[in-house]
Amino acid sequence: MGFPGTWMTESENIVYRVVPKCACSTIGQIMYYSDHGEFFDGDIHDATSGLHKWAIEASQPKITHNVQKHKSYAFTCVRNPYTRILSSFFDKICGIQRNGKRYRGSLVPLLVQKYGIEVGGEDGKDEFDQIKSFRRFLLFARDTIRWRRPMDPDIHWSAMSGHVSTFIVNGGRYDHIVHTEAFNEGMQHVLDAVKLKNKVDLATIPRFNESEGHGPKRLHPVEDYFDDLSMHLVYEIYKRDFHVFKYDFENPGNKMPIGEIDLAEVHAKLGD
């Protein structure tokens, strides 16, 4: 299976396991800058050089050798499950993507037809009941994850623990896990641990939020989207995420972690 979703600097000083919707654009650009002294011109996900990626066939032997020997500092980044699934809904379901089309072509029409979801019209700009539509999307996300129907789960809403675990199961070890909510602090921890070709000043680098502006603006506080049933569904889908990454299930309005991540626990629970 190898190391899907793994990126590595060309200088091979940093290895990063991508978790979608968890600051991956910014992290990729930081890694690129640390090697080249400039940011990639465009969405870092489109870069086919300047950064080793598992999706690039020529990079795979280098990534495999590095990760299995644990030659470099390896990390990943996680996010509160409540805000992550909300972000996925507004970006991927309601939003128009970089190519000017809906995400995954027939996905949104399927959701409109089968789950009665509204997405703000053809261009995503019409008013609609965000809370009602999001809760219906949550049923769909649960169906894809629990029963793999009407389709397999998408990487943007499948559990973070699933992404993080593939790295461990195939022989990798994490040195650190960053909370998106304390990004500068966590990312500084990573940068301080490695020798960089080019110094990175986290206080001044831009945030590369490539999904921003794709979809309608969220109109309500996070907690308004989650009633008792929604919270139950979120817990059913993301139970391990809440526990191993130390997020507050009881209060959707509290996006901050409620404890320190225990790397030994992560490796033990996600490595089987």
55-110 pLDDT tens trace: 999 999 999 999 999 999 999 999 999 999 999 999 999 988 888 889 998 899 99
Question: Distance between CA 268 and CA 145 in Å, rounded?
Answer: 23
* Residue 122 pLDDT grade (very low, low, confident, very high; cuts 50, 70, 90): confident
CB 173 within 8 A of CB 74: yes
3-state secondary structure at position 99: coil
The answer to whether residue 211 scores a pLDDT higher than 70 is: no
Highest mean pLDDT among 92-106, 204-218, 233-247: 233-247
Specify the range with the lowest mean pLDDT, choosing from 115-124, 167-176, 246-255. Answer: 115-124
The structure tokens 């992550």 sit at 84
Average pLDDT rounded to a whole number, residues 219-239: 97
Cα(99)–Cα(101) distance, integer angstroms: 6
Express as a percent the part of the chain with pLDDT over 70: 98
Q: With cut-offs at 50, 70 and 90, classify the pLDDT of residue 120.
A: confident
The pLDDT score that the predictor gives to residue 58 is 97
Are the beta carbons of 241 and 160 closer than 8 angstroms? yes
CA 248 – CA 166 distance, rounded (Å)? 24
User: CB–CB of 141/65 below 8 Å?
Assistant: no
DSSP state, residue 95: S
Residue 214, pLDDT > 80, answer: no
Return the exposure string of 53-69: e unless at least 16 CB atoms fall within 10 Å of the residue's CB, then b: bbeeeebbeebbebbee
d(CA 249, CA 268): 22
Phi and psi, residue 123, nearest 5°: -105, 5
SS3 20: coil
- Give the span between the Cα atoms of 255 and 222, in whole angstroms: 9
For residue 101, what is the enclosing H or E element? none
Cis status, amide bond into 150, omega within 30 of 0 = yes
Quickly state the pLDDT bin for 125 (edges 50, 70, 90). confident
User: Using CA atoms, how far apart are residues 212 and 25, in angstroms rounded to an integer?
Assistant: 11
pLDDT band at 118 (very low <50, low <70, confident <90, very high): very high
Q: What does the pLDDT read at residue 126?
A: 84
Give the pLDDT of residue 19: 98
Distance CA 147, CA 141 (A): 10
What's the full length of the chain, in residues? 272
| 34/214: higher pLDDT | 34
Two structure tokens written together for 223: 């907690």
For residue 210, pLDDT over 80 is answered with no
pTM for the complete prediction? Answer: 0.95
- Checking if the pLDDT of 207 tops 90, the result is no
